[in-house]
Amino acid sequence: MQVTTVGLDLAKTIFHVHGVTEDGQVAFNRPLRRSQVLAFFQRLAPCLVGIEACASSHHRGRELSRLGHTVRLMPPMYVKPYVKRGKFDAVDAEAICEAVTRPTMRFVEIKSEEQQALLSLHRARDFVVRQSTQLINMLRSLAAEFGIVLARGVARAIDFAKGITEGGHTAQPFQRWQGTIGQDHQDGRPVSAAAHRGRHDVSRPTGRQSPPPWLADLLQRKPARLATVAMANKTARIMWAVLTKNEPYRPHAAWSK
C-alpha cells in the first residue's frame, strides 16, 4: 500500500501523522514521539508531506526534504477550514493531509538555516527595542505625574534614571524612589546594555567600541553572521540570569568569556 500524502501535526513532544494512499484510503493515523519522527519518515517512500507553518516547521521541513520527501508548509489559517470536528492532534493531522493536496492552497517557502539565523537576529533586536521603549515610556509617564517632562531620546531617559538612583534629584517623590529602585536599576542594566547593542552589530565596532575577547576570538574562526547570532544568544541568557536569579548585572564577568 503506497502512501502518497502525509499530514504531520507538530508538537513539543508527541507529534501526529496521517497518511493516505493515491486512491484516498487511510494508511495510518498515529502519534509519534519526537525521537521517532525521522526514523518513521526514513521508512516511507518519497511522498508529499504537509506541515503547518509554525515553530520548528522550517527545521522539520529541511530534515524531511533531505530524506527525499516533498514538503509543503501552509499557514494555519488556511488549514483550519479542513478541520472536520473538535480540535485534536489526530484530526489536525488529517486536515493538514487534505489541505496540502488542494490546488488553490497557498504555501510558505521553507527557509534555509542562514535565512532563519538572520531572522532570529532581527527578532531579538526587535524584542530589545520594544522592551526599551516600554520602559522609557513608563518612566516618562511617571515623571509627568510630578510635572517633569523628559526630553526625547534614550540617552536623556537613561541620564534621568541615573540621576534618581545616584541621588541627583532633591524633589520628595524622587527621594522616595531613590531608596526603592536602586536594586531594580542594577537588574535593569542588561536591558539597557542590550538596547544599545541592538542598535548596531557588535561584530563591527565603531569609534572606541571593541568586541569582548570571546567575540573577537569567535570572529577569527567564524563568519560575522554567526558571531552576531552568538552575541544575541548570549545577551538573552544574561537577561534571563539576572531576572531569575535576582543578581546584579556584572558586565565584565558576563562579556569577558
Domains, the chain: 3-99 (3.30.420.140), 113-255 (no CATH)
First to last CA, the chain: 56
Q: How many residues does the chain have?
A: 257
Angle between the 224-245 and 213-221 helix axes, to the nearest 10 degrees?
Answer: 150
Mean pLDDT of the chain: 79
pTM of the predicted protein model: 0.59
Residue 194 pLDDT more than 50?
no
Q: Note the pLDDT tens digit of each residue in 98-130.
A: 999 999 999 999 999 888 888 888 888 888 888
Residue 21 pLDDT more than 90?
yes
Work out the number of other CB atoms within 10 angstroms of the CB of residue 197: 18
Helix (H, G, I), strand (E, B) or coil at 83: coil
Give the residue, 66 or 164, on which the prediction is more confident. Answer: 66
Least confident of 36-45, 115-124, 171-180: 171-180
Q: Note the pLDDT tens digit of each residue in 206-221.
A: 444 566 777 778 788 8
Cell 522592551 sits on residue: 131
Q: Which three cell numbers stand for residue 108?
A: 510558505
Residue 75 pLDDT more than 50?
yes
Measured in whole angstroms, the distance separating CA 20 from the mean position of its chain's CA atoms is 34
Residue 175 pLDDT more than 60?
no
Percent of the chain topping pLDDT 90: 39
Per-residue pLDDT averaged across 120-148, rounded? 82
Per-residue pLDDT averaged across 72-83, rounded? 95
Q: How many angstroms separate the Cα of 24 from the Cα of each of 21, 28, 159, 164, 228?
A: 5, 12, 68, 70, 48
